[in-house]
Amino acid sequence: MKTNFQSLFDWFGLNYRSIESIIYLIPTLILFLFADVIYQKIFPSPAVIVFEAPSNDLKESKEISFFDPNVFTVEEWKDVGLESHVAKSIVKYRLKGGKFNSVEDLKKIYLLTDDVYDQISPYVKIDPPKLEKRKWVKKEKYTRYSKEKKTTIAFNPKRFDPNKVTKQELLEMGFSNQISNSMVAYRTSGGSFKSKDDVLKLYGVDSVQFLEWKKYINLPEQEQLLVKEVPKVISKFNLNKATHNELTQLKGIGDYSANQIIKYRNRLGGSFYSLHQLEEVFGIDSLKVKILNEFCYIKSEDIKKININTSTYEQLATHPYLNYKQARWIVKYRKQHGDYADLSDVLRIKTLQKQDLLLMIPYLQYN
């Protein structure tokens, strides 16, 4: 007959293994529930020192008057009831530049607890900063001019050459400092005066006053310079032999234009075969071409030919009238079929057309 415990276990559906687990589980739960109490018994917590606000006691034992925390010393803070390290912290905060502008600023002190703050705050009285009235000092007004009377120099001009006169000489004649400086600076920068009217270019020269001392300028009048000189007779010259100096003597042909003409002539192989080729020169416009046509000529015997049978690929390719492909075709065909006898042999190259060689034909030579 089963015991009452066995009947109970059977009713809950427990076996011996389950019962064994429950036996181990119960003490574990009890240990978990009372773990904090056991821990406090074994490891008691250290005593916590709580700051007791001394103000109530101090009020009874010693009267506290209103005070300004911006001027209190460490000893005075101690008298109020603060501990030494808190008092030192407040004074150190001030020494580093800190300032209490209101009662709430005391909360910036980390060591000052809220309880202590509540006890001392009613007695804190911060005086507003004293603002000194600014004293307005009336400054003396200074002028750019000296109180002494200016010594004026009488205007007494003499004949002078603006290309040679010095600043001191101009000042002694009565010219202003501005005109004197301007005239010397103009010469220093590379300028020169060719006529009397050129002085009017200077900054600060008044046209009305200029008429008064214009006669003292040792330079010719503008009209005298405009008198036409006897034109220089320029004889015609060979364009293929013309030098830089010969080209620049022509009106309208400067150094740049002369250099461009000679440079292009060298690219053509050393000569022009027609004056119309000048239109191909960079920087030479139709007006300059007209001037060159008037004073230049070309002789057929001076045209430098290019031997198509001996010229290298580089010589042909750099010529203005041939491109790199055409030069390569000419050299390649010559290597395959031999020397060219005349133009018809050159035109056998299928990729070359006669119009492609029209400009080049006058330069070609076959023997």
Q: Do 266 and 230 touch, CB atoms closer than 8 A?
A: no
Q: What percent of the chain has pLDDT over 70?
A: 80
Give CA–CA dist 344/339, Å, rounded: 12
Structure tokens, 336: 């395959």
Give CA–CA dist 196/217, Å, rounded: 6
Domains 55-123 and 306-365 in one fold = yes
Give CA–CA dist 275/299, Å, rounded: 11
Q: Provide the residue count of the chain.
A: 367
Question: What's the pLDDT tens digit per position in 136-153?
Answer: 555 544 444 444 444 556
Q: Do 103 and 68 touch, CB atoms closer than 8 A?
A: no
Give the pLDDT confidence score for residue 192 in this predicted structure.
85
Fold of the CATH domain 237-302 = DNA polymerase; domain 1 (1.10.150)
Q: For residue 27, what pLDDT band results from cuts at 50, 70 and 90?
A: confident
Q: For residue 274, what pLDDT band results from cuts at 50, 70 and 90?
A: very high
CATH class of the region 55-123: mainly alpha
Domain boundaries, the chain: 4-42, 55-123, 167-225, 237-302, 306-365
Give the pLDDT confidence score for residue 224 in this predicted structure.
66
Give CA–CA dist 338/308, Å, rounded: 11
Element (H, E) at 1: none
DSSP structure string for 46-69: PPP-PPPPTHHHHHHHS----B-T
Give the pLDDT confidence score for residue 144 in this predicted structure.
44
Give the pLDDT confidence score for residue 146 in this predicted structure.
43
Is the pTM of the predicted complex or chain greater than 0.75? no
Weakest mean pLDDT among 2-16, 163-177, 319-333: 2-16
Distance of CA 129 to CAs 70, 101, 109, 153, 304, Å? 11, 9, 21, 63, 102
Give the pLDDT confidence score for residue 80 in this predicted structure.
78
Question: What's the pLDDT tens digit per position in 149-189?
Answer: 445 567 788 899 989 899 899 898 888 888 889 888 888 88
Fold of the CATH domain 306-365 = DNA polymerase; domain 1 (1.10.150)
Q: For residue 108, what pLDDT band results from cuts at 50, 70 and 90?
A: confident
Give the pLDDT confidence score for residue 29 in this predicted structure.
82
Mean pLDDT of the chain: 80
Weakest mean pLDDT among 93-97, 173-177, 316-320, 360-364: 93-97
Give the pLDDT confidence score for residue 363 in this predicted structure.
92
Structure tokens, 191: 């300028």
Question: What's the pLDDT tens digit per position in 94-107?
Answer: 888 888 888 888 88
Give the pLDDT confidence score for residue 210 in this predicted structure.
84
Among 19-23, 174-178, 311-315, name the most confident range.
Answer: 311-315
Question: Is residue 58's pLDDT more than 60?
Answer: no
Distance of CA 52 to CAs 55, 237, 246, 337, Å? 9, 121, 114, 122
Structure tokens, 256: 């740049």
Q: Which residue has the higher pLDDT, 129 or 311?
A: 311
Give CA–CA dist 72/89, Å, rounded: 12
Give the pLDDT confidence score for residue 223 in this predicted structure.
64
Instruction: Tell me the residue type at 283.
Output: G
Q: For residue 335, what pLDDT band results from cuts at 50, 70 and 90?
A: very high
Which of these, 283, 276, 280, lies nearest to 257 by C-alpha position? 283
Q: Do 69 and 124 touch, CB atoms closer than 8 A?
A: yes
DSSP structure string for 278-299: GGGSTT--HHHHHHHHHHEE--
Q: Phi/psi of residue 175, each to 5°?
A: -70, 150
Give the pLDDT confidence score for residue 10 in this predicted structure.
65
Q: Identify each DSSP E strand in the chain by its residue range.
A: 237-238, 296-297, 306-307, 364-365
How confident is the model over 341-346, as a mean pLDDT?
A: 90
CA 214 to chain centre: 49
Give the pLDDT confidence score for residue 13 in this predicted structure.
64
Distance of CA 148 to CAs 126, 145, 172, 242, Å? 59, 8, 21, 72
Q: For residue 226, what pLDDT band results from cuts at 50, 70 and 90?
A: low
Per DSSP, the chain holds a count of helices (H) and strands (E) of: 17, 4
